[in-house]
Amino acid sequence: MHKTTVKTPQNTEAGTFTQRFRAKRLVANQLMANRLVITALTSLFLSFTVSAEVLPQQQLIPGGLALFDLGTAATRPKVDIKGQPVMTVATGNGTGQHWTAIVGIDLKSAPGKRTLTIDGQARTFSVTKHNYAEQHLTVQNKHVNPSQPALDRIGAESRAMKAVFTSFSSTASTQWQPMIWPITGPISSPFGLQRFFNGQRRNPHSGLDIAAATGTAIVAPAHGTVVQTGDYYFNGNTVLLDHGQGLISMFCHLSQIDVQPGDQLQAGDHIGLVGATGRATGPHLHWTISLNNARVNPMLFLDPQLLPEANHEETSQP
């Protein structure tokens, strides 16, 4: 048995989300709700063509995205932030392509000004403060205060994952393809929660937790290349999928991995099965998205047609 308690910050900017915990007044644009059920997956994805004109949602907060209009050009503009290459996508075709830069804002970063470089020219934008809710969890002590051998393992795994998150693979496609849900299920923990394990503050929740039964099939949310798999101390059985241009999906706590590095996947292709390996209090999929080595909210990348409606009803949790 585990215990979960959520405390809501006093100063928030958005509505209510409840699922296995009570969290009131979550901040801007968090479209999450009590027993939020994801109703669209592979079958829905195959039933219509997603428009490549739809871009990810801008949200100028830690864990959000900044979008920059780069104008029309025949070739892809060069954009970077702190030396890290930035994703650029285009609409239109031929010499009339209109380019947009998509910049990830790391969840753990502080509010304030940011500077990026566009074809050698500096451009600034501002990130505003965002008050994420708190979540208090009770887990095995080894997952809160690891032994020295475990710390050595965690360090090696962190370095291996960082090599993927900081990578930037070129892609032949210039257009953005919105993502689909990797599994169907309620959101059990939203992105950005300030987490406390056994009363001790730890890193914020850098992904979405989607609850599902052990053995539920997981699919790729967009095309990409499997670049890393493994059994990690905190993440359990894990798959990292490179979507190109520094956009990485990470899927954690799997009971079974059914892909291997080098596999080329399309949206809807099978990845593995839901489980509760690693630091997990029950079966679920943890889905992290990293863009230009910044952990950002996966909800911002989903096709708008697949975003569920917010239900503001609150219920008491057992």
Is the pLDDT at 282 greater than 50? The verdict is yes
Please give the pLDDT value at position 280: 86
Would you list the domain boundaries of the chain? 4-306
Q: Closest Cα partner for 89 from 148, 175, 213?
A: 175
Instruction: List the single range of 118-127, 184-193, 214-223, 263-272 with lowest mean pLDDT.
Output: 184-193
Report yes or no on whether pTM surpasses 0.85. no
Mean confidence (pLDDT) of the chain: 80
Look up the CATH number of domain 4-306: 2.70.70.10
Bridge-based pairing of strands 134-137 and 194-197 is: parallel
SS3 142: helix
Cβ-Cβ contacts under 8 Å for 168 (sequence gap 6 or more): 84, 85, 245, 246, 292
Percent of the chain with pLDDT over 70: 74
Which helix (H) or strand (E) covers residue 301, if one does?
none
Model confidence at 134: pLDDT above 90: no
